[in-house]
Structure 1
Amino acid sequence: MTSLDKPTATDHHSAGPEGARADEAHDAKAVTEAALFEAFGGLRGMVETVLPGLLFVTIFTINKDLHVSAIAALTVSLLLVAVRLIRRDTVKHAFSGVFGVAFGVVFAMMTGNAKDFYLPGMIYTLGLALAYIVTTLAGVPLIGLILGPIFKENLSWRTRNPGRKKAYAKASWAWGLILLAKCAILFPLYWWADTTQLGWVLVALKIPPFLLAVYLTWVFLAKAPPPIDVFAEMEAQEKAEKERKAAAAAASAQREA
Structure 2
Amino acid sequence: MTSLDKPTTPEPGTPPPPSEDQKAVTQAALFDAFGGIRGTVETMLPGLLFVMIYTINKDVKLSAIAAGAVAVLLVIVRLLRKDTVKHAFSGVFGVGVGVAFALFTGSAKGFYLPGMIYGVGLGAAFTISALVGFPLLGVILGPVFKENLSWRTRNPGRKKAYTKASLAWGLIFLAKYAILFPLYWWGDATQLGWVLIALKLPPMVLAVYFTWMFLAKAPPPIDVIAEWEAEEQAEKEAKAAAKAAKAARAATKEPGV
TM-score over 0.5 for the pair? yes
| TM-aligned CA deviation for residue 121 of structure 1 | 0.4
Question: Runs of 5+ in structure 2 lacking a partner?
Answer: 1-17, 253-257
Q: 1:202 aligns with which of 188, 196, 207?
A: 196
Match among 131, 153, 158 for residue 164 of structure 1:
158
What are the residue-to-residue correspondences of 1:13-24 with 2, within 5 Å?
A: none
2:111 corresponds, among 88, 108, 117, to 117
Counterpart Cα distance in 2 of 1:136 and 1:250: 52
Q: Which residue of 2 aligns with 1:147?
A: 141
Residues 1-34 of structure 1, C-alpha deviation per residue, up to 9 Å, x if partnerless? xxxxxxxxxxxxxxxxxxxxxxx72211121112
- What is the aligned counterpart of 2:90 among 91, 96, 113? 96
% same residue: 73
Question: Which residue identity lines up with residue 170 of structure 1 in the other structure?
Answer: K
* CA deviation after TM superposition for structure 1 residue 60, in Å: 0.6
- 1:252 equivalent to 2:252? Answer no
Structure 1 equivalent of residue 80 of structure 2: 86
In the other structure, the counterpart of 2:230 is 236
Structure having the higher Rg: 2
From 227, 232, 247, the equivalent of 2:221 is: 227
Length-normalised TM-score, structure 2: 0.89
| Shift of residue 99, structure 1, vs aligned partner | 1.1
Query: Is 1:37 matched up with 2:70?
Result: no
Specify the code of the residue in structure 2 equivalent to 1:29: K
Partner of 1:218: 212
Q: Which amino acid aligns with 1:161?
A: N
Distance in 2 of aligned mates of 1:144 and 1:124: 20
Unpaired segments of 5 or more residues in structure 1? Answer: 1-23
TM-score relative to the length of structure 1? 0.89
- How many residue pairs align between the two structures? 234
Mapped contact 2:120–2:177 kept (Cα < 8 A)? yes
Q: State the distance in 1 between where 2:167 and 2:111 align.
A: 28
Tell me which residue corresponds to 1:49.
43
Q: Match for 1:100: what amino acid?
A: G
Q: Provide the rounded CA distance (Å) in 2 between the counterparts of 1:143 and 1:201.
A: 27
Does the 8 A contact of 2:61 with 2:106 survive in 1?
A: no
Aligned partner of 1:187 in structure 2 is 181
Following superposition, the deviation at residue 107 of structure 1 comes to 0.7
Take 2:194 and 2:156, find their aligned partners in 1: how far apart are those partners? 42
